[in-house]
């Protein structure tokens, strides 16, 4: 049952082969058994989850079910969920119980899905390894000594270890796609503005986007049908007609033009990862796609641009955590300024402090034009690279991450090396484009076979075509069905 797709589970629920309560309890039992070691979840509340499952069973019995009714979904702990502890992986919000639902949570609730729990994450979504969480690092189910990627590492590990049917994540610079790659699952970052950011705790407001994490493209298409849509409460939400993201699944790929950026296959890419991606490209040739060589010349500038813009936005967004209205407050302080300083010093971890300091610096008088404004100008050039590329091709393919999962602690003392893990993903966020990662095979690392992700990038609002391209690949391969040892 734990290897069933969302469509298969929905069919079983509709046919009364299993109830939502039974399915939810199965996952809760697995969480109870495996989570103490993997640490994928921060908060689990069986009473709340089973209450939702009972309500879902009533919907199923009444014939009013939707495609996800009764399906247990894990929610990244960046989404406010009424009655649930919502921490963002930080001591700062250790005791915060959300008084309302984020838009994404509302949509899953309306669909009758079950909230299985809140997953672990890098603190305030700042990290590429899920080692910055106040609640401890998450372990990669494929090798417990390695990281699952970040910041949505808890969601990725939960899906990979079959501790949920699917999960939500957020992607600011690759935080859905990179952990999906490292954990051997599918993850999609939609076009900026398709999924509402209302109730999603902000890191970098012009980059953050919610998306699905699941085993297959078909599963993600079903989740996208629920997650997306206009929300007047979010000023960045796009007012577009709803679409069915499953509508193109099964269409042939003959005539599809796939671009391969030369910059994605240059120095820095692990040889084993490159071999897996090249084999995937060959598979697309067999499926009828035309392969086109393209260039994204400003790719290498995406890292410095991102690490100016994202910290700048973070320093502004995180200024609200001052110990006054909500969040951690120091136990002892002399005056108001001392309370601010001590509360923030105690509540934030090292990586969050580092980014707040960088962001405050680049926004300060005398440095704004030299750093922040210049970064915004280069951001425009990066977006123009993609505009020119999509004149030559329909989709862009390449590696999701430059390597397989690295060992915990390996890059902890080298922030720049950690930041380079997102070299192939960040430009997509800077341009606001949709991108996804799907399992493409395994590469040998230290004698271990570890998952490799294939990144597919589309033009704006081209998610349906991306999902069909990924689905076609998954119909002729079984990488997305592989399961880590020791989690059955």
Q: Which residues are catalytic?
A: 76, 151, 175
Token output for 292: 């086109």
Reduced to 3 DSSP states, what percent helix, strand and coil does the chain have, rounded to the nearest 5?
Answer: 40, 15, 45
**Could you give the angle at which helices 302-317 and 374-389 cross, rounded to 10 degrees?**
130
* Angle, CA of 221, 195 and 180, to the nearest 5°: 55
Cα torsion through 207, 212, 215, 217, rounded to 10: -90
* Angle, CA of 287, 288 and 294, to the nearest 5°: 110
Q: List phi, psi (to 5°) of 348.
A: -100, 145
Contact between 427 and 435 (Cβ < 8 Å): no
Contact between 118 and 75 (Cβ < 8 Å): yes
DSSP string, 119-188: E--SGGG--SSS-S-TT-PPPBTTBTTB---SSTHHHHHHHHTTSSSEEEEE-SSSTTHHHHHHHT-EEE
Question: Which helix (H) or strand (E) element contains residue 333?
Answer: none
DSSP string, 363-429: HSTTTIIIIIIHHHHHHHHHHHHHHHHTTT-SEEEEESSSSSPPBTTSSTT-HHHHHGGGTTTHHHH
CA-to-CA distance for 168 and 219, rounded, in angstroms?
Answer: 12
CA-to-CA distance for 213 and 110, rounded, in angstroms?
Answer: 19
Token output for 377: 């100008």
Contact between 461 and 192 (Cβ < 8 Å): no
SS3 of 257, please?
Answer: strand
Location of structure tokens 């296959």? 265
**Which are the contacts of 364, defined by CB distance < 8 A and separation ≥ 6?**
none
**Which are the contacts of 410, defined by CB distance < 8 A and separation ≥ 6?**
none
């Amino acid at each position: 049952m734990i290897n069933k797709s969302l469509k298969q589970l929905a069919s079983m629920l509709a046919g009364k082969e299993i109830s939502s309560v039974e399915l939810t309890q199965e996952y809760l039992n697995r969480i109870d058994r495996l989570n103490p070691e993997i640490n994928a979840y921060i908060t689990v509340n069986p009473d709340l989850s089973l209450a939702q499952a009972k309500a879902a069973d009533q919907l199923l019995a009444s014939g009013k079910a939707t495609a996800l009714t009764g399906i247990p979904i894990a929610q990244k702990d960046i989404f406010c969920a009424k009655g649930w502890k919502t921490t963002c992986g930080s001591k700062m919000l250790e005791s915060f119980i959300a008084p309302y639902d984020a838009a994404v949570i509302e949509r899953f609730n309306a669909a009758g899905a079950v909230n299985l729990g809140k997953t672990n994450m890098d603190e305030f979504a700042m990290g590429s390894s899920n080692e910055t969480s106040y609640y401890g690092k998450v372990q990669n189910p494929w090798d417990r000594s390695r990281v699952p990627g970040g910041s949505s590492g808890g969601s990725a590990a939960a899906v990979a270890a079959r501790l949920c049917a699917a999960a939500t994540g957020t992607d600011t610079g690759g935080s859905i796609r990179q952990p999906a790659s490292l954990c051997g699952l599918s993850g999609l970052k939609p076009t900026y503005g398709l999924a509402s950011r209302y109730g999603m705790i902000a890191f970098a407001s012009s980059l953050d986007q919610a998306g699905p994490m699941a085993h297959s493209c078909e599963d993600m298409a079903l989740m996208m049908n629920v997650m997306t849509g206009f929300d007047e409460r979010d000023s960045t939400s796009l007012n577009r007609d709803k679409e069915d993201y499953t509508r193109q699944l099964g269409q042939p790929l003959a005539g599809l033009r796939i671009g391969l950026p030369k910059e994605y296959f240059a120095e820095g890419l692990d040889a084993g990862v490159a071999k897996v991606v090249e084999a995937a490209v060959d598979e697309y040739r067999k499926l009828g796609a035309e392969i086109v060589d393209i260039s994204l010349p400003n790719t290498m500038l995406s890292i410095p641009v991102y690490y100016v813009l994202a910290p700048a936005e973070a320093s502004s967004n995180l200024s609200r955590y001052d110990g006054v209205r909500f969040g951690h407050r120091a136990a002892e302080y002399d005056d108001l300024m001392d309370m601010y300083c001590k509360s923030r010093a105690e509540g934030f971890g090292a990586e969050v402090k580092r980014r707040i300091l960088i962001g405050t610096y680049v926004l300060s008088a005398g440095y704004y034009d030299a750093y922040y404004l210049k970064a915004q100008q280069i951001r425009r050039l990066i977006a123009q690279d993609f505009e020119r590329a999509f004149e030559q091709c329909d989709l862009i393919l390449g590696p999701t991450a430059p390597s397989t999962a690295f060992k915990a602690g390996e890059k902890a003392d080298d922030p720049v090396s950690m930041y380079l893990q997102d070299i192939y993903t960040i430009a997509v966020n800077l341009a606001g484009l949709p991108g996804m990662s799907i399992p493409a095979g395994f590469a040998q690392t230290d004698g271990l076979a570890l998952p490799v992700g294939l990144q597919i990038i589309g033009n704006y609002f081209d998610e349906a075509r991306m999902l069909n391209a990924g689905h076609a690949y998954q119909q002729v391969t079984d990488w997305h069905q592989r399961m880590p040892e020791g989690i059955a």
